[in-house]
Amino acid sequence: MSWFPFFADLNDKPVLLVGAGEVATRKAESLLAAGAQLRVVARTLAPAFERWLQEGRIAWLGRTFSPAHLDGVFLVTSATGDAAVDADVFAAASARQVFCNTVDSPEHCSFIVPAVVDRGPLQVAISSGATAPVLARYWRQKIEVMLPQHTGALATLAGQWRRQVQARLSGMRARRRFWEHIFSGPVNTLVAQGQLEAASQFLAAQLEASASTGTPVNKAETMTHTASMSPDIADPAISASGHDAPETFLTSRRPAEQRAAEQPPVTPAPIPALHTGDLVVVDAGSSDPGQLTLHALRALQAADLVVHDPALADGIRQQIRKDAEKLALPDGNGAGTAPAHPVLHRWSTPMDLAQPHTFGSLIPAPAGVPCATHAASHHAESAHAPHAAASALHTQRLVDEACWGKRVVWLRGGCHDARINHLATAHTPAQAAPRLVMLLQQAGVPWRHVPGVSAAPATPWRNTGESTAAMSTAVPAVHVPSVAKTQRPQRLAA
């Protein structure tokens, strides 16, 4: 059984607790903190319940459970340790469609309670799906240490500005980038320093700067600036300004607050290049997601579009940001043809395929011109290589999407040559690198390559001295094409 995670509003909602011992005390504390109206049925009350009763914070309905106690109740927890009572409570709750949690038997639960790291309003909830509660608790304690205390204040500040940001910045992608910058840059630092007013002013200035640069701009300056910095700062998906390194597990063991307090006060600066895209070629290495490098994980989490091998391992696929667009490449072994994709329908013409080095594909197809899919098969028939045509389409699409401001990841299974521009002539999508590099350079799209870690060197008896750690932390080179902004294709009106 898989459990659906969600956060419920229990404020002023009647909630029933059957049993008022040690475990019920823990459940009651979080229910009261959420503003629930707590009703209790129990033979005896633990000290905390006695106190809450005196303070008028709970109602004690009786010593023996009866289904009538569920009237008007939003949800119920049974924590008596008595299996017969658990079964009665669950049956009565199910009959009334009331959510039920019994602390002794997951089979009598229609909801379970996670371990929680609370940085209100931000919360991290961890569940083992009722298999190992102590494992959930173990990770809660680990995450407690990692998650800075000021994260809650940062979330509160974001909540105060969210509507204004929605009103000023059009497009979810622009807003997401804006917020990513806010959460990893100077505003984060100011909140960590307790300078909430300054943080608010800085956010306002950043919003003004972003709103006034509403058209795509060249990212080359930013990339040139950041390329010489540490890999974390240089990662454009994480910090566009280079002001402040994001939280990482590797950069420092000191608490985030301490690090932030040591930093000099920051002054507002415009956000550079919020609207431009880039392309990251990520090699997964093995099919084990545990072997993905930090760079690979970050790229997959930041991507708007991930184009991947058809046979990509599920575990790797799950590391892609949930709302990113995913596009499987056609099978490179021959039979594949380009899938009908609305973007390709709209953009491409046979001319584009005949002259793949131009950006003609950004010109909408005139009425009566065959769509890209037809164009691909036409091209394929003449070339006797359907997958080569599909490859050309996908390569073009990678570049087009990055050109139009998306953060594109080309996710490849296995380990490839680290110098992707030195691969052999492209015949399949997986070999399309040289053409891709040329197109990227022509378009002025920054790109970089994140090499994979193969499973083999991680096996101790086959390790010949080149450590996995050294490979996994290798700094990916950032390539910044030097083309003038005016040479880049213009974005079309929708």
Please give the angle made by the CA atoms of 363, 364 and 365, to the nearest 5 degrees: 115
* Nearest residue (CB) to ligand NAD, 88 versus 331: 88
Name the minimum Å distance from CB 78 to ligand NAD.
9
* Distance of closest approach, residue 90 Cβ to ligand PQ2, in angstroms: 12
Instruction: Enter the tokens of residue 403.
Output: 């050109």
In the complex, what is the shortest distance from the CB of residue 112 to ligand PQ2, in angstroms, rounded to a whole number?
A: 4
Element (H, E) at 448: strand 447-450
Strand ranges for 253-406 from DSSP E: 278-283, 305-308, 325-328
Residues from 127 through 156 that contact ligand PQ2 (CB under 6 A): 127-130, 133-134, 136-137, 140
78 lies in the site for ligand PQ2, by CB under 6 A: no
Write the DSSP string, 196-233: HHHHHHHHHHHHHHHHH--S----HHHHHHHHTS-HHH
Degrees (nearest 5) of the Cα angle 339, 341, 344? 110
Work out what residue 101 binds among ligand PQ2, ligand NAD, none; the CB cut-off runs from 5 to 8 Å by kind. Answer: ligand PQ2
Question: What's the closest the beta carbon of residue 419 comes to ligand NAD, in angstroms?
Answer: 54
Interface residue with ligand PQ2, options 106, 242, 268, 434 (CB under 6 A): 106
Residues near ligand NAD, by CB under 6 A: 19-24, 42-44, 64-65, 79-82, 85, 103-104, 133
Which of the choices ligand PQ2, ligand NAD, none does residue 402 contact, using the CB cut-off of 5 to 8 A by kind?
none
* One residue of 32, 34, 46, 113 binding ligand PQ2 per CB under 6 A: 113
Residue 115 in contact with ligand PQ2, rule: CB under 6 A: yes
Token pair of 454 as six digits:
């193969």
Closest distance between ligand PQ2 and the C-beta of residue 305, in Å? 34
For residue 80, the minimal CB distance to ligand NAD (Å) is 4
Considering the complex, state which of residue 53 and residue 130 has its C-beta at the smaller distance from ligand PQ2. 130
- In the DSSP assignment, the letter for residue 394 is H
Taking alpha carbons only, the member of 35, 26, 39, 18 closest to residue 81 is 18
Examine residue 455 and tell whether it contacts ligand PQ2 (CB under 6 A): no
Contact between 327 and 406 under an 8 Å Cβ cutoff? The reply is no
Greatest C-alpha distance within the chain = 86
Q: Judged by CB, which is closer to ligand PQ2: 123, or 459? A: 123
Confirm or reject binding of residue 468 to ligand PQ2 (CB under 6 A).
Answer: no
Q: Does 5 participate in binding ligand PQ2 (rule CB under 6 A)?
A: no
Tell me the C-alpha to C-alpha distance, in Å, between residue 428 and each of 104, 317, 351, 387, 392. 56, 21, 21, 6, 9
Question: At closest approach, how far in Å is the CB of 134 from ligand NAD?
Answer: 9
Query: Please, are residues 234 and 227 in contact by the beta-carbon 8 Å criterion?
Result: yes
Are 245 and 298 spatial neighbours (Cβ–Cβ below 8 Å)?
no
CA dist 448 and 477 (Å) reads 6
For residues 26-45, which are near ligand PQ2 according to CB under 6 A?
26-27
Residues that bind ligand PQ2 (CB under 6 A): 26-27, 101, 103-106, 109, 112-115, 127-130, 133-134, 136-137, 140
